[in-house]
């Protein structure tokens, strides 16, 4: 695999979109968290409409920093997804996916190295989030703690999901513009359906006392989104404990997120292995 | 040893049968031309034997073994179009190919020189002309000096000098004992460089074997006279030719290769009271043979 990755690196290192998008993402993660940090301390805390209530929550204290950084950075995961779509559809546009096979890769080697990119991109994003969380935690003047560190794990899961969807769209659609367009359209569409399902879940609970959780969280990308929540605070607790909100079955959401990843894997792999290139 | 053995290979695209059960084998050291008009299944065939396409039925062997990727690393393959990363230079593109082939990393400058791209080796592929892209694809095939080359329309898009150079290159590789499998619709090209030929028509194999067996030439004697009717009557009384074809203002007599005697023909007609105003022998071109085989 090291050999395969070395070859993949030859393709990537001189690709300008790789450099630009990686930089955007890195700056975006740090910048977005910095913006939240500054806005919270300088604006919200100073003009707290609920004296003492909101300003009492410290987003970047060590008890919360992992969760806040992961949650805020999660919105930027479209960028690595975009980069992966580019890297995958480039192969189809340049027909180098054929040349790689002609030159002596097996089809599964071609797929495996792309899958490795997906995982590496997720790991790199997670490492960035971990470091950002660490820096902001110390900047808040609190002492180091691993409390709520599982949020970084959920960020990894979310990142992996976004990247796997990118891989699947790239492999299925092949055309760069279409793949990127549909990636966004799909995300919008899924969020729209998710919102409808959420409404339905509330309705069923209130009207029929029927509660199987928020069904909006059971969709492919929303499942991994749902695990990554904003730090618990007075406001979220109020929402959660209200009698109209459906119960959150975290284990079910987690199981579904893993199941979807497995489906993306099998689907994109079989596409490369079994069909004409 | 057979470099390639194809057994009853079939490929359907929906209801279209691109290749209808083709079988043949390519002996080591051959320059094997796959000849056929556009859409006859040449590229499909090459795609199948390189695992780019999946066959509907049938099988093939490389080097007498079940095919796998290690066989492909021993071949230089150029299929349909030059496939390179547009944003990388020639050298960087070849580094990738060489690394995948696990051979020929130190061979890059040599192959670039062979195809005359040394001056532009650090330019991005996207700045290349069609002919230069084609040359780079040929260079890539030569990486690591493989014993088998698969070339799909290698002279497509090349200028006349490039075509001649490529032809010389193929002849040179043949002399070194390399096996070359080459698809082409250019009969001239096949006639000039190939030792063996397989002819495809609408996905069917019409003929395969040694060039001289498949494309045996004939002498064609073209004659004309003022009175074409008389000419034809007399011609029918003559012997020695295998076929006679009357065209407007011209009569064609087909003789086995090397047996047409123009003096004798001229004398025969004169003795029968016909004065020829045109008499010449033409070698049957591969082109007409090709049309005959594929029509």
Question: For residue A235, what pLDDT is reported?
Answer: 66
Whether A193 has a pLDDT exceeding 80, the answer reads yes
Q: Does residue A149 sit at the B interface (CB-CB below 8 Å)?
A: no
Task: Kindly give, in sequence order, each residue whose CB lies less than 8 Å from that of residue B67, ignoring residues fewer than 6 positions away.
Answer: B49, B51, B60, B61
**Could you tell me the CA-to-CA distances from A144 to A32, A78, A129, B139 in Å, in that order?**
22, 30, 16, 58
Cβ contact, residue pair B85, A96, below 8 Å: yes
Running DSSP on this structure, what letter comes out for residue A128? H
Mind telling me how many Å the CA of B188 is from chain A's nearest CA?
Answer: 27
d(CA B244, CA B222): 10
Does B51 or A247 have the greater pLDDT score? B51
Least confident segment among A31-35, B103-107, B250-254: B103-107
Length of chain B, in residues: 295
Q: In degrees rounded to 5, what are phi and psi of residue B44? A: -55, -45
Shortest Cα distance, chain A CAs vs residue B48, angstroms: 9
Q: Which of B85, B88, B90, B148 to mutate to test the interface with A (most CBs of A within 10 A)?
A: B85
Point out the least confidently predicted range of A83-92, B85-94, B177-186: B177-186
How distant is the Cα of B1 from the closest Cα of chain A, in angstroms?
A: 22
**pLDDT of A20 over the 80 cut:** yes
Sort out which chain B residues have CB atoms less than 8 A from A98's CB and list them.
52, 79, 83
Domains of chain B: residue spans and CATH: 2-214 (3.40.50.300), 218-294 (3.30.70.980)
CB A107 within 8 A of CB A273: yes
Contact B47 A90 (CB under 8 A): no
Contact A104 B100 (CB under 8 A): yes
- What span, in angstroms and rounded, lies between the C-alpha atoms of A70 and A29? 9
Bigger pLDDT: A237 or B68? B68
Residues of B in contact with A277 (CB under 8 A): 52-53
Confidence of residue A56 (pLDDT cuts 50, 70, 90): confident
Per the CB < 8 A criterion, the answer to whether A246 and A205 are in contact is yes
Mean pLDDT value across residues A108-128: 97
Structural domain count of chain A: 1
Host domain of residue A123: 2-274
- A21-36: pLDDT as tens digits: 999 999 999 999 999 9
- CB-based contact B79 A98, cutoff 8 Å: yes
Q: Which of B54, B83, B95 shows the shortest C-beta gap to A95?
A: B83
Percent of chain B with pLDDT over 90: 54
Q: Residue B283's pLDDT is what?
A: 60
* Torsion sign across C-alpha atoms A87, A89, A93, A94: positive
- Please report the ipTM that was assigned to this predicted complex: 0.89
How many C-beta atoms surround the C-beta of residue A43 within 10 A?
10
Nearest chain A alpha carbon to B54:
A276
Phi and psi angles of residue B45, each rounded to the nearest 5 degrees, phi first:
-60, -45
- Chain A and chain B share a number of CB contacts under 8 A equal to 76
Query: Would you call A5 an interface residue with chain B, using a CB distance cutoff of 8 Å?
Result: no
Which residues does residue B181 pair with via DSSP β-bridges, in sequence order? B32, B150
Does residue B92 register a pLDDT over 90?
Answer: yes
- As a whole number, the mean pLDDT across chain A is 91
């Amino acid at each position: 695999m090291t050999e395969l990755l070395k070859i993949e690196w030859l393709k990537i290192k001189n690709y300008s979109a790789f450099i630009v998008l990686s930089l955007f993402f890195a700056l975006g993660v740090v910048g977005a968290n910095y913006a939240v940090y500054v806005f919270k301390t300088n604006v919200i805390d100073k003009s707290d409409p609920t004296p003492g209530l909101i300003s009492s929550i410290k987003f970047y204290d060590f008890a919360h920093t992992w969760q806040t950084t992961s949650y805020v950075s999660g919105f930027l995961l479209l960028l690595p997804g975009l980069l992966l779509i580019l890297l995958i559809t480039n192969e189809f546009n340049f027909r180098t996916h054929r040349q790689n096979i002609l030159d002596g890769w097996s089809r599964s080697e071609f797929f495996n190295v792309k899958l490795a990119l997906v995982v590496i991109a997720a790991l790199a994003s997670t490492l960035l989030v971990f470091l950002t969380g660490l820096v902001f935690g110390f900047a808040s003047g609190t002492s180091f703690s691993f409390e709520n560190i599982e949020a970084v794990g959920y960020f990894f899961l979310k990142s992996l999901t976004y990247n796997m969807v990118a891989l699947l769209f790239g492999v299925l659609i092949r055309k760069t513009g279409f793949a990127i367009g549909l990636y966004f359209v799909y995300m919008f569409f899924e969020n729209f359906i998710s919102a409808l399902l959420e409404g339905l879940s509330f309705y069923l609970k209130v009207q029929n006392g029927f509660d199987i959780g928020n069904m909006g969280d059971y969709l492919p990308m929303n499942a991994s989104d749902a695990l990554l929540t904003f730090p618990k605070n007075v406001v979220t607790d109020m929402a959660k404990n209200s009698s109209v909100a459906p119960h959150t079955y975290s284990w079910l959401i987690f199981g579904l997120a893993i199941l979807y990843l497995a489906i993306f894997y099998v689907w994109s792999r079989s596409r490369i292995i079994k069909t004409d290139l | 040893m057979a470099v390639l053995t194809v057994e009853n290979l079939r490929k359907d695209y929906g209801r279209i049968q691109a290749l209808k059960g083709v079988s043949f084998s390519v002996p080591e050291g051959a320059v094997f031309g796959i000849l056929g008009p556009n859409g006859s299944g040449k590229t499909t065939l090459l795609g199948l034997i390189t695992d780019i396409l999946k066959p509907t039925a049938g099988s093939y062997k490389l080097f007498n073994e079940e095919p796998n990727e290690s066989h492909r690393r021993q071949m230089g393959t150029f299929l349909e179009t030059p496939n390179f990363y547009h944003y990388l230079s020639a050298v960087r593109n070849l580094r990738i190919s060489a690394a995948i082939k696990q051979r020929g990393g130190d061979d890059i400058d040599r192959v670039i020189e062979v195809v005359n791209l040394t001056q532009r080796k650090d330019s991005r592929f996207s700045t290349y002309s069609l002919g230069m892209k084609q040359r780079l694809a040929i260079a890539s095939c030569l990486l690591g000096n493989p014993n088998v080359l698969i070339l799909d329309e290698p002279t497509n898009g090349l200028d006349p000098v490039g075509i001649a150079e490529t032809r010389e290159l193929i002849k040179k590789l043949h002399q070194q004992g390399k096996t070359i499998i080459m698809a082409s619709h250019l009969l001239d090209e096949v006639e000039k460089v190939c030792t063996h030929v397989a002819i495809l028509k609408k996905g069917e194999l019409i003929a395969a074997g040694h060039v001289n067996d498949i494309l045996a030439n004939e002498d064609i004697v073209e004659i004309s006279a003022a009175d074409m009717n008389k000419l034809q009557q007399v011609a029918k009384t003559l012997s020695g030719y295998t076929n006679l074809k009357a065209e407007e203002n011209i009569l064609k007599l087909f003789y086995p290769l090397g047996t047409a005697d123009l003096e004798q023909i001229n004398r025969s007609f004169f003795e029968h009271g016909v004065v020829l105003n045109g008499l010449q022998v033409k070698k049957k071109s591969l082109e007409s043979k090709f049309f005959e085989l594929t029509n």
